Chains A and B, each alone.
Chain A
Amino acid sequence: MAATEASLGRRIRDSELWWSLRRHRAAQVAIVMLVVIIVSAFAAPLIAPQDPYDLASLDLDNSELPPVWSADGRWPYVLGTDVQGRDVLSAILYGSRVSLAIGLASVLLSMAVGLSLGLVAGYFGGVIDNVLMRIADILLSIPTILIAILVTAVFRELLPVGLRETLSAVILVCAIALTAWVQYARTVRASTMVERGKEYVLAARLIRVPASRIMLTHILPNTLTPVMVAATLNFGLAILIEATLSFLGVGMPPTEPSLGTLIRIGNQYLFSGLWWIVVFPAAQLGLIVLAVNVIGDWLRDALNPKLR
């Protein structure tokens, strides 16, 4: 085991990805930033000064406090508090956790759907391919955000009132994944059509390896490079869509706010001078999406054989 671990370490050090990362300062910064954001978000119950969901911890005496560096600021409310005395920093940490989790879940769901449909369409071709790709075309011709609003609205109408808030995260994930799978399916379909005709696949077909095994063990690993790039960029996009939906009021409820919900709530106080309630969650959202996109751009260049 020790030998394989050592060789894994060497393989990472020798890999072209590592080599290109060492020369890409922006990607290094973005990765560090994203790691810090992710760790702090998921460690929120341990490091946040306050539990923003626990109404007992809120104190109206501490409401509307500006950030700590202003004259009226007070510790430990580093980024100030909202009108109910909720610590903005804590709300951001908890909110980032919700946003990141929904982003990740929707990427995983859409990837699972997109990879399987793309593999099947590309490998078998014919009618299956035509039907799947026309569905994809239709989905692509409607704006993503419109579909997402439609789906969340319909789901919320169908569900009993009690379940609406508890299931809102699941609804959001499904709504985002419903359009996001198309990109993976198209990418994988295209690479599958190339790989399908390659001789190593023919060699496997000759000895009657089942089609499902050819797709999973031979073709899929060779189509993953562009998928990783798409997944990274879509992670940022998914977080943005979730924030938009929550901002519009069809996303996460105020009892379990995501960054988008925080921005929507804070937006109401922007012109009463309580700028910190909206600016800091918005800045966090911007940082996350920026970091993810920088990493995605770097991956796209690093994994593109034509740019090497």
Chain B
Amino acid sequence: MADTLLAVDGLTRVFDVSAPWLNRVLEGRPRQLLRAVDDVSFSITAGQTVSLVGESGCGKSTVARLVVGLHAPSAGEIRLIRPDLRLQMIFQDPYASLNPRWRVRSIVAEPIRTLGLRSDEAAIRARVDELLGIVGLGASDGDKYPHEFSGGQRQRISIARALASEPEFLVCDEPTSALDVSVQAQILNLMKKLQRELGLTYLFISHDLSVVRHVSDVVAVMYLGRIVEEAPVETLFRRPLHPYTRLLLDTIPDLEAPRRDRTPMGGEVPSPIDPPKGCTFHPRCPLASERCRHERPELAARADAGRVACHAVEEGRHK
């Protein structure tokens, strides 16, 4: 595809979470490796929003950091359409993502100065004012410190800083999960507006399915470091195939059926240090068979659109 902005192929990241060397030797313990991301592949079309969803600890934030280059992949590769493609990131915690000792103006100007996007101070100042305006803040807000702003306003500053480097591709790591629901909508609408006006492409990381439905074109569901199902947003929400996707969708509150009989999501996510054999989801899966306990399912094309990794779906046992 000519307009694929970014393609991720077989991406794997292993973290060494072993005890210190001395403890390992004295207590005779082996090294411990954590496969945070395991053989993840997906691609993103220019101008689209691809969402990664999953419970905490499923590796979705690690994928985000791998994509922007904050971590080096242990295996696999990330292909950009052009080597000079500008990526930026919007972070989850608006209280940790802005340096508390810097004025907003310096925070937003840092990418412009570092990348040398404007030559003189007057131009930098004008650009910062313009960026603050784009995200709905006033030019006078530039002289304040981050602690003078609310969570939603801070996230706007974060977005302004990300836009300052004139990116084409934004990785958004749970940009709204730390915000009030009313503010979430404002930030999401701002992001959608920016996407329309600036032609941005988003990789959106979230655990909140109602948010994901609102912003995405394509959704990939992750479980224990692997993608278990991927499909265009409406297909996925209307016809989820993987039992895990179904469980996730079941947890969304429904205005029309507020007291419906929901199956509570059973069990805990197993430890990624020692994942279950076969399909990693089998201990929590209502459809698990003997095959699921031994053989790991690979992603295969769904009948309609997208991909799914499930023996039960393949065998037609999911209906």
Contacts and interface: CB of A to CB of B under 8 A. Distances in A.
Interface of A: 198-200, 202-209, 218, 221-222
A199 B115 contact: no
B219 interface: no
Given A200-B96, A202-B65, 14 more contacts: A198-B96, A199-B92, A199-B96, A200-B107, A203-B158, A204-B110, A206-B69, A206-B87, A206-B89, A207-B110, A207-B111, A207-B115, A208-B114, A221-B101
A256 to B, nearest CB: 42
Contacts of A206: 68-70, 87-89
B18 interface: no
Interface string B70-114: 100000000000000001110111001111110000010011001
Contacts of A208: 114
A222 B101 contact: yes
A205 B70 contact: yes
Contacts of B115: 207
30 contacts: A198-B96, A199-B91, A199-B93, A199-B97, A200-B97, A200-B98, A200-B107, A202-B65, A202-B89, A202-B91, A203-B91, A203-B158, A203-B161, A204-B110, A205-B70, A206-B68, A206-B69, A206-B70, A206-B87, A206-B89, A207-B110, A207-B114, A207-B115, A208-B114, A209-B110, A209-B114, A221-B101, A222-B99, A222-B100, A222-B101
B165 A203 contact: no
Interface string B155-175: 000100100010000000000
Contacts of B101: 221-222
A185 B101 CA distance: 21
A221 B68 CA distance: 26
For the complex of A and B, 4 pairs with smallest distance between CB atoms: A199-B97, A199-B91, A200-B99, A221-B101
Contacts of B96: 198-200
A205 B165 CA distance: 13
Contacts of B100: 222
A222 B146 CA distance: 14
A218 B89 contact: no
A222 B96 CA distance: 12
A206 B110 CA distance: 11
Contacts of A218: 99
A37 B93 CA distance: 47
Contacts of B91: 199, 202-203
A207 B167 CA distance: 11
B40 to A, nearest CB: 20
A209 B114 CA distance: 7
Contacts of B111: 207
B28 to A, nearest CB: 22
B68 A203 contact: no
Given A221-B101, A222-B100, A203 B114 contact: no
A129 to B, nearest CB: 12
B78 to A, nearest CB: 15
Contacts of A222: 99-101
Contacts of B69: 206
A207 B92 CA distance: 18
A102 B114 CA distance: 41
Contacts of A209: 110, 114
Interface string B22-52: 0000000000000000000000000000000
Contacts of B114: 207-209
Contacts of A203: 89, 91, 97, 158, 161
Nearest to A221: B101
B27 to A, nearest CB: 19
Contacts of A200: 96-99, 107
A205 B87 CA distance: 12
Interface in B93-140: 93, 96-101, 107, 110-111, 114-115
